[in-house]
Amino acid sequence: MSAITVRGLRKAYGELEAVRGVDFEIEEGEVFGLLGPNGAGKTTTVEILEGYRRRDAGEVSVLGHDPEHPGPEFRERIGVVLQQSELWPNLTVRETHAIFAGYYARSRDVNEVIELVGLAEKRDARVKTLSGGQKRRLDLGIALVGDPDLVFLDEPTTGFDPAARRAAWEMIRSLRSLGKTVLLTTHYLDEAEQLADRVAVMREGVIVKVGTPRELTTGDLEVEIRYRRDGEEVVVRTSEPTRVLHELTADAVARGEELERLEVRRPSLEDVYLTLTGDEGAE
Amino acid sequence: MSARLFFHQFRAEQLVFWRSKEAALFIFLFPLLLFMLLGSVYTGKIYGVPAAQALLAGLIGYGCANTSFAGLAIQLVLRREAAILKRLRATPLPAATYIVALLASTLVVFALQTVALFVLGRILYGTPFPHAIGSVVLAVVAGSAVFAAIGVATASVIRSGEGSSAVVNFILLPMAFLTGSFGPTRHYPSFLRAIGDVLPLKYFVDLVNAVYLRGEAIWTQPKALGVLAAWGVAGLAVAIVKFRWEPSDG
């Protein structure tokens, strides 16, 4: 069953068309990545699904609800991690979780959630004493304390150092093992590749490609064959790697030569992404 | 509205308020400190009662504006800009429950402050406890509601968190000075008194003077109540139209 269905979604802010006809579907239990550069319309799309914004056009169903009229039943079942948000600086990690837990009819055990997000040692620490990474874990903790079926993560690791990103990835993987549906936005390719079952690449308000990370990288892009001849690097790009490789190797074998440093490379998600978004400056 | 959610949020607001030393100091203690200061400066009689008693009434007025208007407005702007309000909107906590619990928590802080002022006055300056208790209680509740409405309205039109404290104090301190919260205004130039005459705090101080200093019942003050109600409705109207849950920049 679908957790989220989006058909023909549109949203403009004045003259600016942030989302220009977006369709996708997310299955229950799936981790779905919305990937794209800043300004591609990811956050607008997610905020419409979260019930923060009204759409101009299109059909949207989130857990069987229309998020434009978000009732308490809808709120009970979603967890939200915003791109930027702070919490009360003088409360402790435990107090903050307990306040949020109180908003839900059926909430998870506060200590269990604190453990899950790796803040057990910081249970009684004031929020203002937490590091940036720990604050994001707190954000995730309060998003999970209501035991949601669907979790929205808007750029959950932006601004993290590599170690904190790895830790956050582990937590997001643990959401999948809990059976949660996750909608993740990111402008990091490796993040989408690591975490998402399927990825939708957004650019200028439309989805330009959807698929598993593997499907995206075995599409129309040419395979790259590299080797060295007389110390010079030779690069061959082809959509028929089998034939080209056969010719190259047959030729080399016939001449009794070795193709030095022979390498066959599938396009990475990064190559696909850069081609799709036309954004050479992407991170 | 679910009573469980209301009490849960009320307790949360109390915890957030008292845990913040800045809030507890500037919002709760500051009027008490001012009372001690001014009470030791003024002597003799004001409005035909001992000076300390008249100052006590004025500082209840200041405390009301300080807590329900200034404190509430600054807290709301900071929470909005920190996306705490936006975060709360994603939970099942209804908006109305949140607002009512926040206002109730603000009222409780102001009520405790009023009690502390009475006790402090009694100990330091021998000022009497009020006779018309019911009317004093009603005045405290009415004043808190009116200034909270103006506070929410003000928070709604302030764009940034950094500027909020400056803007709010720029309104609060002159208003308190012009409306007799820090002492009588009868020696002020007439144009200053004319400004004071349109400000809501003047009518709240008038109301407290009547119910505390003169022991009159609250309904003997229709003019003060009327002007306060008008300010409250105006504040509410602006708040309803302009209030936002999301930070200004996104």
Phi, psi of B143, rounded to the nearest 5 degrees: -60, -45
pLDDT of residue A157: 82
Chain B nearest-CA distance from A201, in A, is: 22
Chain A nearest-CA distance from B182, in A, is: 32
Nearest-by-CA chain B residue for A98: B12
Give the pair of three-digit tokens for residue A12.
Answer: 């403009």
3-state DSSP assignment of residue B192: helix
Could you give the CA distance from residue B188 to residue B236 in angstroms, rounded to a whole number? 31
Across the interface, of B12, B86, B91, the residue whose CB is closest to A85 is B86
pLDDT above 90 as % of chain A: 50
Phi, psi of B189, rounded to the nearest 5 degrees: -55, 150
A223 pLDDT above the threshold of 90: no
- CB contact (8 A) between residue A85 and residue B12: no
Over range B141-162, report the average pLDDT: 94
B209 pLDDT above the threshold of 50: yes
Confidence of residue A221 (pLDDT cuts 50, 70, 90): low
Q: What does each C-alpha distance from B148 to A115, B63, B77, B102, B231 come to in angstroms?
A: 40, 12, 13, 10, 11
Chain B positions touching A76 (Cβ under 8 A) are 92
- Asked casually if ipTM beats, i.e. exceeds, 0.90, the reply is yes
pLDDT of residue B59: 96
Across the interface, of B19, B90, B93, the residue whose CB is closest to A80 is B90
Over range A112-121, report the average pLDDT: 91
Note the pLDDT tens digit of each residue in A138-173. Answer: 999 999 999 999 999 998 887 777 887 888 888 888
Confidence of residue A219 (pLDDT cuts 50, 70, 90): low
Counting other chains too, the contacts that A15-24 makes at CB distance below 8 Å and 24 or more residues apart are A17/A205, A18/A44, A18/A205, A19/A44, A19/A45, A19/A48, A19/A55, A19/A205, A20/A204, A20/A205, A20/A206, A21/A58, A21/A205, A21/A206, A22/A58, A22/A202, A22/A205, A22/A206, A22/A207, A23/A207, A24/A200, A24/A207, A24/A210
Could you give the CA distance from residue A28 to residue A47 in angstroms, rounded to a whole number? 19
- CB contact (8 A) between residue A80 and residue B87: yes
Average pLDDT of chain A, as a whole number? 88
Q: What does each C-alpha distance from A18 to A15, A38, A46, A74, B55 come to in angstroms?
A: 9, 11, 12, 25, 58
Could you give the CA distance from residue A20 to residue A57 in angstroms, rounded to a whole number? 9
Chain B nearest-CA distance from A202, in A, is: 20
Note the pLDDT tens digit of each residue in B56-91. Answer: 999 999 999 999 999 999 999 999 999 999 999 999
**H helix runs in A117-231, sequence order:** 132-144, 162-177, 189-195, 213-217
Q: Which of B230 and A189 is assigned the larger pLDDT?
A: B230
Nearest-by-CA chain B residue for A151: B90
Q: Which of B23 and B176 is assigned the larger pLDDT?
A: B176
Across the interface, of A90, A99, A104, the residue whose CB is closest to B12 is A99
B244 pLDDT above the threshold of 50: yes
- Largest Cα–Cα distance in chain B? 57
> Tokens 């720029």 belong to which residue?
B170
- CB contact (8 A) between residue B8 and residue A102: yes
pLDDT of residue B23: 83
Confidence of residue A279 (pLDDT cuts 50, 70, 90): low
Chain A positions touching B19 (Cβ under 8 A) are 88, 90-91
pTM, entire model: 0.86
The letter for the amino acid at A197 is D
Note the pLDDT tens digit of each residue in A29-72. Answer: 999 999 988 888 999 999 999 999 999 999 999 999 999 998 88
- CB contact (8 A) between residue A90 and residue B90: no
Q: Are A156 and A169 in contact (CB under 8 A)?
A: no
What lies within 8 Å, CB to CB, of B47 at 6+ separation is B54, B184, B209, B213
Chain B nearest-CA distance from A90, in A, is: 6
A82 pLDDT above the threshold of 60: yes
pLDDT of residue B104: 96
pLDDT of residue A94: 97
pLDDT of residue A218: 67
Report which DSSP code applies to A221: S
Other beta carbons less than 10 A from residue B116's beta carbon:
16
pLDDT of residue B113: 97
- Nearest 10 degrees: Cα torsion A52, A57, A60, A65: 60
Across the interface, of A85, A88, A103, the residue whose CB is closest to B91 is A103
Could you give the CA distance from residue B62 to residue B182 in angstroms, rounded to a whole number? 8
pLDDT above 70 as % of chain A: 96
Nearest-by-CA chain B residue for A76: B92
Average pLDDT of chain B, as a whole number? 93
A187 pLDDT above the threshold of 90: no
Chain B nearest-CA distance from A166, in A, is: 25
Q: Which range is least confidently modeled, A185-189, B226-230, B237-241?
A: A185-189
- CB contact (8 A) between residue A78 and residue B82: no
Q: Which of A268 and A90 is assigned the larger pLDDT?
A: A90
Report which DSSP code applies to B135: H
Nearest-by-CA chain B residue for A13: B250
Nearest to A158 by CA among A213, A82, A265, A264: A82
Confidence of residue A281 (pLDDT cuts 50, 70, 90): very low
Could you give the CA distance from residue B215 to residue A64 in angstroms, rounded to a whole number? 61
Nearest-by-CA chain A residue for B8: A102
- CB contact (8 A) between residue B19 and residue A88: yes
Could you give the CA distance from residue A149 to residue B156 in angstroms, rounded to a whole number? 34
A277 pLDDT above the threshold of 50: yes
pLDDT above 70 as % of chain B: 100
Over range A199-216, report the average pLDDT: 89
Chain A nearest-CA distance from B74, in A, is: 14
Enclosing H/E stretch for B198: none
Nearest to A100 by CA among A120, A70, A79: A79
Q: Which range is least confidently modeled, A94-103, A235-244, B30-39?
A: A235-244
Could you give the CA distance from residue B124 to residue B61 in angstroms, rounded to a whole number? 20
Confidence of residue A234 (pLDDT cuts 50, 70, 90): confident
